[in-house]
Each structure stands twice: as C-alpha cells, then as structure tokens.
Chains A and B, each alone.
Chain A
Amino acid sequence: MTVLAIVCFVPFLMMLVNATRSNEAILTGFTLVPGNALLENYQTMMDYVNVWTGFKNSLFISVLVTILTGYFSALTAYGFAFYTFKGNNFLFVFMLVMMMVPGQLGLIGFYELSKTLGILDTYIPLIVPAVASPFVVFFLRQYILTTLHPSLIEAARIDGASEFKIFHIVAIPIMMPAIATMSIFTFIGSWNNYIMPLVLIFSPEKYTLPVLMGFLKGSQVAQNLGSMYLGIAISVVPIMIAFLFLSKYIINSISAGAIKE
C-alpha cells in the first residue's frame, strides 16, 4: 500500500528535485538532494516560454466554461423537469442519444464551422459550447426532480414571483450541491482539454496550458532539462496545492457522479 503510494508520487518527486538542478547535474546522475539552479532554470525557461501565460489563459477559459455550464445546465434541467410542453420528451431523449456521441465525431465539422464563422484563434469556440452540456443537464434534471417539490414552485407563483425569478430564488439554491459536483468535473475537463485548443488556437500568446506544454517540448528549452522539469513543475504544482485543500470534495464528486442514477 505504502509502496504504491510512493510509486504514485515518485515521478512528481523526481520532477521537483530535478527542477532545482542544473542541466549538467541531471546528466551525471540522480539524487534526492535539491540543487541550487532553480533561479537559473527559471530564467532560461522564461526566456523562451512564459508558462504563466498558459496558466492564465487556461484558468480564464475553465472558469468561464464552468460558470456557463453550471448556469445554463440548471436552466435547461429546470425547464425539462417542471414544464410540460410539446416535444419535451422527444427533445430530452434526443439529447440523451447525442450524449453517447464521442467528441471527435464532430471535430472536423466543428473546425469548418469555426472557420466559416470567423472565430478561429479566438476563445469563442472553446467557451460558448459550454452552454450545451447534455450530461450535466441530465444529471441536474435527475437531481432536481427528487429534491425540489412542485408545491414550492406553486407557493412562489401565488406570491407573485415571475417564472425566472422562481428559478433564480427557489431552484438554483436547491440545485447548488449538484451544480458544485458537476462544476468540479467541468473544470477538470476544460482544464485538461487538449485537442480542441490545439486545433483551434494558433497564436502562441493565446495557448492554453496543455498546448503550451506541448510547445515546450519542441522548443529550445528542451535542451535544458532543468528548465523543462521546472516548466512541468509550474504547470503541476498549483494543481497539487489546490487538490490538497479540495481533495475531499473532488473525490466525493467522483463517487457521486459514478453511482447516482
């Protein structure tokens, strides 16, 4: 058990130690003693690639995606759950069927569409589609059907609240735990998305972190192993720190996402 935990951690440890050592030191051997080339490595890396820019871009996109997904999925789920309109069932089932379709299927069409709309090399195709996330809608609909009693909505109507006000004041707070659960998935998914930004973004200053890391490999920095390790460490360590504080919620979310029907 402990061995496995160590195995899990060793690559990170090697990364952290090597990030502080000079190129020559790494070439001659491996120790667990940190070196003293941290600053030097940082400067070498920054001369070529600013990892922080990728970090900032990724954070910007992921936060917006998470907000859009959370809000609009709640809106859609509520609409599906509490109104009986023509086509309700058909649209819902159709959405479920589309959920099974893998992301790569529309990739080429998506690229062509973005080209036609003139939104290549912008964040629009990376952010706006977050409005339509079938899986989150599905999850939230199941959740709200079991947690929000229609009489609550009736009561709000009698008090004279408008339909959208009811959604914002009554439904959203009740859905919040489920939205939070899904937001964790959405954020991780967006943060780790590689193929979409790779295909859609061309300007280096707009690269997201995953694309920038790929770029790092082909650049001059690759000559200096210490700087490479440092670049990777910068991309990884903030996540590790965030995980330290949030691990309980993240793991509970995975459990909930997997077994809730």
Chain B
Amino acid sequence: MKNLNRYGYFFIAPFWLVFLVFSIYPVALTFYYSFTNYTGSGTAEVVGLANYTRLLTDSFFVQAFVNTLKIWGINFALQMGLALILAAIFSDMRLKMKGQSFFRAIFYLPNLITVSSVALLFGILLDWQHGSLNVVLMNLGLISDPINWLNEPATAQISVSLILTWMWFGHSFIVIMAGISGISTDYFEAALIDGANRWQTLVSITLPLLKPILLYIMITSLIGGLQLFDLPMLITDGIGSPDGSLNTMVLYLYNQAFKYNNYGYASAVAYGLFIITVIFSAVVFRSMYSSERKQARQV
C-alpha cells in the first residue's frame, strides 16, 4: 500500500497556518516591542533593557502585583473552603444528601454569566447611595449609615474577592466532586467500618487522594487570578481606584498600552506577568509534589 503519511501535513496545515500568524507571531512581536519605545505610531526604537529595569522599580506595577495576589488569595481561600465543605457534605456516606445535581446547577450558575454583567450588577447593588445592599442592611437595622463599599481600599478588595468567590466556588465544587467520584468507594467503606469520623475521613482519605485535582484547581485558578482584569476594569471604569487598590497587573498592562500608548513598556509588563506566572506555577507545583514524585495530571 502506498504511503499515506504525507496526508498528515494536509490535516494539520490549517491549524499551523493560523497558529503561526495569530498566536506565535504576536507573542514574538510583543517580545520585540518590549525592547523598544514603540508608541503605536511611527517607528519603534530599540532601547535595550530599559523597559525591564523600569518594570522592576515601578511602584505601580508592584502595587498591582500585590493587589492581584491579595484579591486572588482571599478569594481562593474562601472558594476552596466552601467547595471542600460542600464536597464533604455531599460525599458523606452517612448523610446521603439528595439533590446534588440541583445544587450543582445553582452553585455553578454565577460562573456562566458574562463577567461584565456580573460587574455591572454588583456595581449597582453595592452602590453607596442607592445600592440595594445598603438599603437592605439599613432596613434590617444592621448598619446605621450606608457603607461606601467600593470607595475604601480594604472593602473594595474584599468586595471583589467575594464576588469572585461567588462566581467560582461552584466550579471548584463540581471539579472536586468529579475527583471524589473517581475515588473507589472501598476506601470510604473501610473508613466507615474502622469507625473514622468525618474529619478523619476527610483528612486521611479524601484530601490525599484528591491531590492531583486540588493541584489542578490551584494552578488553573492561580493563572486565571494573576490575569484578573474584567471585574476590576468594569467596576472602576478602568481606573483601578480607590487608591489604586483594584489596579491589577493586566489592568495596568491594558492602560499602559491602550490608554497611554506605551506599547513598548506594556509589552515588558506582559512578559513580566508571564515570568511571574511561570515562577508561581512552578512553586505551587513543587511544593505540592516535594516529597513524592507522582505524575501530575496535565489538563
């Protein structure tokens, strides 16, 4: 039979054509710009490492980095805590919780809505003077004066973290449940017979066996978290106020590029963000797999 393997090239050609033009070339071009003072028009002048030296001493970028980590950290702790508690309740053999699919659907719903709608919705719900949240809280007598949620650095960051938690805990819960369903019920039955209580079951059986899934959630959430953009952008009209507390790294990148036309510097910010992401992912990966060398799930 004649060799048909050359057909392989025909099959992968469209992919590679588009991939080269729309993915690899832009990444390379951005890399080139990061060494220039390109402003979006005229010619790009090569300035060497100037953009990167500026990045290292840029207090706004450092602040954006810290903000991003804070917002992601609070959100991730709450989100995982909630998701794990829910998963423990639903997987408990003694409780035999019903309606799992109903609750999964309700918990996941906020994740499906366009972030801009979510941002807009919470923007007006949290509004200082007219927001329904303050009105409700005041009617209940819990607060006497309206709280200006989005105008204080601390409450603004916490608000955004909570919105992210609201959006994402359902997703984590579903992924954790999928992981638990992959664990053989023998383990849980054995634990039940041995008289392990809920906490012991969770700590000694569920969590260790879930490690690959937890790592997956942690890494994907971290990468997504470091790229946080839509919500702060829309809630603060792109400014990142109050006091720059909602300025995230990608928002900073966006503003540098498309607001101030500092394409060269913004490109360096993009690569800075990339390096930070790689380092963090590696640290998370190593710390979860320091003692044992299991093959992590790559998804």
Query: Which residue numbers of A lie inside 8 Å of B, CB to CB?
Result: 1, 4-5, 7-9, 11-12, 14-15, 18, 26-27, 29-30, 72-73, 75-76, 78-80, 82-85, 88, 91, 95, 98, 100-113, 125, 128-129, 131-132, 134, 137, 157, 163-164, 167, 188, 191-192, 194-195, 199, 209-211, 213-214, 216-218, 225, 228-229, 231-232, 235-236, 239-240, 243, 247-248, 250-251, 254-261
Are A102 and B227 closer than 8 Å at their CB atoms? yes
- Nearest 9 Cβ contacts at the A-B interface: A79-B11, A83-B8, A109-B29, A109-B26, A106-B26, A255-B178, A132-B19, A213-B116, A109-B30
In the assembled complex, B179 has its CB within 8 A of some CB on chain A: yes
8 Å CB contact of A228 from B5, B120, B181: B120
CA distance A83 to B266 in the complex (A): 42
Additional 13 contacts, C-beta under 8 A, given A8-B110, A75-B14: A9-B109, A75-B15, A78-B11, A85-B8, A108-B266, A112-B29, A128-B18, A131-B15, A195-B250, A214-B233, A217-B234, A250-B108, A256-B178
A161 to chain B, nearest CB (A): 12
Stretch of B52-60, B69-77, B143-151, B268-276 on the interface side = B268-276
Q: Which residues of B contact A9 (CB under 8 A)?
A: 106, 109
8 Å CB contact of B28 from A102, A104, A109: A109
Q: Which residues of B contact A199 (CB under 8 A)?
A: 254, 258
Are B5 and A85 closer than 8 Å at their CB atoms? yes
In the assembled complex, B121 has its CB within 8 A of some CB on chain A: yes
User: With A107-B257, A255-B178 known to touch, is A18 a contact of B132 (CB < 8 Å)?
Assistant: yes
Are A258 and B299 closer than 8 Å at their CB atoms? yes
8 Å CB contact of B1 from A85, A104, A157: A157
User: With A75-B15, A188-B112, A235-B114 known to touch, is A108 a contact of B30 (CB < 8 Å)?
Assistant: yes
CA distance A158 to B64 in the complex (A): 62
8 Å CB contact of B114 from A102, A132, A210, A254: A210
In the assembled complex, B286 has its CB within 8 A of some CB on chain A: no
Interface set, chain B 129-149, CB cutoff 8 A to A: 130, 132, 135-136, 139
CA distance A81 to B23 in the complex (A): 22
Q: Which residues of B contact A79 (CB under 8 A)?
A: 7-12
Q: Which residues of A contact B135 (CB under 8 A)?
A: 29-30
A-B contact pairs, 24 of them (CB 8 A): A4-B107, A5-B106, A72-B15, A76-B11, A79-B7, A79-B12, A83-B5, A102-B227, A102-B273, A104-B227, A104-B229, A104-B270, A109-B29, A113-B22, A132-B22, A210-B114, A213-B114, A214-B116, A232-B120, A232-B121, A243-B105, A254-B171, A255-B175, A258-B178
CA distance A79 to B110 in the complex (A): 38
In the assembled complex, B192 has its CB within 8 A of some CB on chain A: no
A259 to chain B, nearest CB (A): 5
CA distance A26 to B250 in the complex (A): 35
CA distance A23 to B278 in the complex (A): 48
Are B107 and A8 closer than 8 Å at their CB atoms? yes
In the assembled complex, B239 has its CB within 8 A of some CB on chain A: no
Who on chain A is nearest to B19 by CB?
A132
Query: Which residue numbers of B lie inside 8 Å of A, CB to CB?
Result: 1, 4-12, 14-19, 21-31, 33, 82, 86, 89, 97, 101, 103-110, 112-117, 119-125, 130, 132, 135-136, 139, 166, 170-171, 174-175, 177-179, 181-182, 213, 216, 223, 226-227, 229-230, 233-234, 237, 250, 253-254, 257-258, 263, 266-267, 270-271, 273-274, 277-278, 297-299
Who on chain A is nearest to B273 by CB?
A104
A8 to chain B, nearest CB (A): 5
CA distance A89 to B287 in the complex (A): 30
Are B12 and A217 closer than 8 Å at their CB atoms? no
Q: Which residues of A contact B267 (CB under 8 A)?
A: 108-109
8 Å CB contact of A259 from B29, B123, B178, B250: B178
Are A194 and B132 closer than 8 Å at their CB atoms? no
B236 to chain A, nearest CB (A): 11
User: With A109-B26, A109-B29 known to touch, is A259 a contact of B182 (CB < 8 Å)?
Assistant: yes
Q: Which residues of B contact A26 (CB under 8 A)?
A: 130, 132
CA distance A30 to B145 in the complex (A): 16
Q: Which residues of B contact A216 (CB under 8 A)?
A: 120
User: With A88-B8, A132-B23 known to touch, is A258 a contact of B175 (CB < 8 Å)?
Assistant: yes
CA distance A228 to B174 in the complex (A): 32
Q: Which residues of B contact A109 (CB under 8 A)?
A: 25-31, 33, 267
User: With A107-B257, A209-B114, A235-B117 known to touch, is A132 a contact of B174 (CB < 8 Å)?
Assistant: no
CA distance A256 to B57 in the complex (A): 44
8 Å CB contact of A75 from B11, B33, B112: B11
Q: Which residues of A contact B253 (CB under 8 A)?
A: 104, 107
Q: Which residues of B contact A95 (CB under 8 A)?
A: 19
Q: Which residues of B contact A82 (CB under 8 A)?
A: 8
Q: Which residues of B contact A132 (CB under 8 A)?
A: 15-16, 18-19, 22-23
8 Å CB contact of A251 from B1, B5, B108, B122: B108
Are A195 and B273 closer than 8 Å at their CB atoms? no
8 Å CB contact of A255 from B123, B174, B298: B174
